[in-house]
Amino acid sequence: MSHSDTSATVGTRNIYLETLPIAEAVDRARAALDRATLVRAETVGSHEAAGRVLSEAVYARYSSPTMHSAAMDGIAVRAADTFAAREGHPVALRRGEGYHPVNTGHPMPEGCDAVVMIEHVAQIDADTVEIEAPAFPWQHVRRIGEDIVATELLFPRNHRLAACDVGALLSGGIWEVAVWERVRMRIIPTGDEVLDFTTGPDPGAGQVVESNSQVLAAMARDMGCIVERIPPVPDNPDALRAELARSLDEGVHVTVLCAGSSAGSKDFTRQIIAAEGRVLVHGIQAMPGKPSLLGECRGRLVVGAPGYPVSAVVCFDELVAPLVAWMGRTVPADRPSAEVHLTRKVPSKLGVEEFVRLAVGRVGNRLVGTPLGRGAGNITTLSRAQAVARVPALSEGATEHDVLRARLTVPEAVLDSILVCVGSHDNTLDVLADELMGGERPFRLISTHVGSMGGITALRGGSCHFAGAHLFDPETGDFNFPFLDKYLPDMDVRVVNLAIRHQGLIVAAGNPKNINGVEDLARSDVRFINRQRGAGTRILLDWHLGQAGIAPSLVQGYDKEEFTHMAVAVNVLTGAADCGLGIHAAARALGLDFVPLARERYDIVIPAAHMDDVRVQAVLALLRDERFLKRVEAMGGYETTLSGRVMEKGMGLGG
């Protein structure tokens, strides 16, 4: 046991070998592995072979049809007997001599070479029929071997069988086929601090619930692998090496060690791979994804997946997926892509390929994409994304309004059901998002929270269907309109109220610091947590501070910013701050106390051009829906008296 403890020393660290471009990393692993000995052939029933890849050519044993047969329900005839038939001059045929009744699939009786459809046959008596049109030879007859000729090649080796191919196999008399084994993968989560969710853990300080191995397992199953995931192994080189060795002993094709692939003092993956075999790649020129490791041990692939979830996904998408496809002799399914108009600048480091997650929707006649944050630690930047764009290694990034080709992570049809909302955050948007997905035709609300002013900017750029705003104008006592007049003078918009909401000071349960108003924010023992610049809530705070004659510099924490009400509340919950300004719903959701300060109007601002959009119409219908309004009221801190009403200038909180 050589458990290195970072609390004792900064420690010895690994150095990356050399970072490689992604394609080169994949090539290096291919060159190091012999797939012919790694992944073998096995025999499966033809009916279970869809999706599998043939390890050898398949030749038909039977022809299909096995004999000339009727292609229609009707009567089998000798075509020459019918040549005289004309409308009004029928030819009569006698059963057993001139005709034989047949159903589709029946073998053609000896001497017959055509079928007349039952619809064109007049039954005169039990044994006589008449037809009024000639049949041409081989009419409605499926000829022997028309579909498959015995001994012909049905499929070459390495063909991936589709569902319909099962029909060709069985029709050709092939009951079982030789296919390549499915790739077997074992995923080993590692780390002293990780908890296995199956134990129903409640993570303490410094602990995290292990989730990467489950994400990678789900991805590997999508690739067609047989996946085993074991419980987490501690950061202990001996234990880790023993697990790797067991995996190699058991003939697993791919072993994945989660985390420990970087250059930290507890990152043992590299040394373990080197001990059992050789390291092929340590570090790729990708962001996220850089600390990916590939190794070869006893002819098998060993992967060190980065610890950050988005990095681990990139490692799997870019390195593991092509290698698994190569081992299984298959071609990965298409990943559709689309041209997306960026709504914001994306900086990128020269020399690394950057994977930018984008929230995408169709606004007007173009797809707009909002970058979802670069942090490799944030799995929601993937789960909230509809597309991922690659910024090439030789670029320093992309700017607003650039058009990027991005790989879609949802079916393209989903993009047309997306509503893009940019602006202020409010919890009613979560209720709206859920209700919009409940209809017969579901719509997906994507809301990006950049504050009310950010929403107006997005409207100006044409990058959203509507913006959420609660901008209070102290001079007029009105909401939103003064700001729209100033910043969107040329755009025809409708302003519809979502709800009236209560803003106030969110304080710890029981209000231990006895904070009762904005005046208390100047106290030296009160630590405040602020919202970001441009947020309507911050404007409201500034107004209240001004009214109370308190300079922002007197407020401790005025410069600490959060982007949502919930984030402010979480700061209070954990004691990182004593209070912050936010909505009642956020306080209530976390069991915190709330000191009301003001009522305000939260409106959605919709360009007139989008008012007839079916998605916008769905929103407007919900704002008048009793059930929706009840859900909003049930959250507390909301009034729905104005909800769904078109607002006009000067209404304030009246209307």
What residues between 198 and 217 interact with a copy of itself by CB under 8 A? Answer: 198, 200, 203, 205-206, 208-212, 214-217
Work out whether strand 337-342 and strand 366-371 pair parallel, antiparallel, or are unpaired. Answer: parallel
Stretch that binds a copy of itself, among 192-200, 238-246, 497-505, 509-517 (CB under 8 A): 192-200
Out of 152, 238, 250, 339, point to the residue binding a copy of itself (CB under 8 A). Answer: 152
413 binds a copy of itself (CB under 8 A): yes
SS3 460: helix
Window 70-99: contact mask with a copy of itself (x via CB under 8 A): -x-x-x------------------------
- For a copy of itself, give the closer residue by CB, 45 or 596: 45
- In the complex, least distance from residue 357 CB atom to a copy of itself, rounded to whole angstroms: 10
- For a copy of itself, the binding residues in 320-339 under the rule CB under 8 A are 329, 331-334, 336
359 binds a copy of itself (CB under 8 A): no
- The residue whose two tokens read 């047949």 is 102
197 binds a copy of itself (CB under 8 A): yes
190 binds a copy of itself (CB under 8 A): no
Phi, psi of 451 (to 5 degrees): 85, 165
Closest by CA position to 491, among listed 445, 458, 454: 458
- In the complex, least distance from residue 319 CB atom to a copy of itself, rounded to whole angstroms: 16
- In the complex, least distance from residue 546 CB atom to a copy of itself, rounded to whole angstroms: 26
453 residue type, one letter: M
Size of residue set near a copy of itself by CB under 8 A: 135
- In the complex, least distance from residue 248 CB atom to a copy of itself, rounded to whole angstroms: 25
- For a copy of itself, give the closer residue by CB, 148 or 248: 148
- For a copy of itself, give the closer residue by CB, 1 or 126: 126
DSSP state of 507: E
What is the number of alpha carbons within 13 Å of residue 434 lying toward its C-beta? 8
Out of 1, 88, 89, 164, point to the residue binding a copy of itself (CB under 8 A). Answer: 164
Distance CA 622, CA 428 (A): 12
- In the complex, least distance from residue 218 CB atom to a copy of itself, rounded to whole angstroms: 4
Out of 2, 7, 37, 553, point to the residue binding a copy of itself (CB under 8 A). Answer: 7
399 binds a copy of itself (CB under 8 A): no
Q: Where are the beta strands (DSSP E) in 396-450?
A: 397-398, 403-408, 418-423, 444-449
Closest by CA position to 276, among listed 252, 292, 259, 308: 252
- For a copy of itself, give the closer residue by CB, 128 or 511: 128
- In the complex, least distance from residue 493 CB atom to a copy of itself, rounded to whole angstroms: 26
- In the complex, least distance from residue 637 CB atom to a copy of itself, rounded to whole angstroms: 14
Q: How far is CA 258 from the centre of its chain?
A: 21
593 binds a copy of itself (CB under 8 A): no
- For a copy of itself, the binding residues in 291-310 under the rule CB under 8 A are 307-309
Out of 93, 114, 273, 570, point to the residue binding a copy of itself (CB under 8 A). Answer: 570
193 binds a copy of itself (CB under 8 A): yes
- For a copy of itself, give the closer residue by CB, 518 or 570: 570
Tokens (6 digits) for 487? 């910043």
- For a copy of itself, the binding residues in 613-642 under the rule CB under 8 A are none
- For a copy of itself, give the closer residue by CB, 137 or 251: 137
- In the complex, least distance from residue 172 CB atom to a copy of itself, rounded to whole angstroms: 9
Distance CA 282, CA 262 (A): 9
- For a copy of itself, the binding residues in 12-51 under the rule CB under 8 A are 13, 45-47, 50-51
Full DSSP string of 344-389: S-EE--TTSEEEEEEEEEEETTEEEEEE----TT-THHHHT-SEEE
Cβ neighbours for 281, distance < 8 A, ≥ 6 positions apart:
17, 20, 25, 28, 29, 292, 293, 294, 295, 319
- For a copy of itself, give the closer residue by CB, 260 or 454: 260
- For a copy of itself, give the closer residue by CB, 144 or 245: 144
- For a copy of itself, give the closer residue by CB, 50 or 653: 50
DSSP state of 598: E
Distance CA 624, CA 499 (A): 11
Distance CA 501, CA 3 (A): 54
Q: Where are the beta strands (DSSP E) in 233-313?
A: 254-258, 278-282, 286-287, 293-297, 300-305
- For a copy of itself, give the closer residue by CB, 568 or 616: 568
Q: What is the largest CA-CA distance in the chain?
A: 112
Out of 17, 40, 42, 57, point to the residue binding a copy of itself (CB under 8 A). Answer: 57
Distance CA 367, CA 373 (A): 19
DSSP state of 143: P
Per-residue CA distances from 410 to 288, 418, 437, 524 (Å): 21, 11, 15, 51
- For a copy of itself, give the closer residue by CB, 352 or 436: 436
Q: For the chain, what percentages of helix, strand and coil (3-state, to nearest 5) are there?
A: 25, 30, 45
Stretch that binds a copy of itself, among 68-76, 83-91, 482-490, 504-512 (CB under 8 A): 68-76
CB 190 within 8 A of CB 258: yes
- For a copy of itself, the binding residues in 230-289 under the rule CB under 8 A are 262-266
Work out whether strand 593-607 and strand 466-469 pair parallel, antiparallel, or are unpaired. Answer: antiparallel
Distance CA 348, CA 500 (A): 41
- For a copy of itself, the binding residues in 417-456 under the rule CB under 8 A are 417, 430, 433-434, 436-438, 442, 444-445
CB 452 within 8 A of CB 468: yes
Out of 133, 162, 554, 634, point to the residue binding a copy of itself (CB under 8 A). Answer: 162
- For a copy of itself, the binding residues in 531-550 under the rule CB under 8 A are none
Stretch that binds a copy of itself, among 237-245, 248-256, 404-412, 620-628 (CB under 8 A): 404-412
- For a copy of itself, the binding residues in 471-530 under the rule CB under 8 A are none
- For a copy of itself, give the closer residue by CB, 227 or 294: 227
- For a copy of itself, give the closer residue by CB, 221 or 630: 221
Closest by CA position to 465, among listed 427, 433, 493, 440: 493
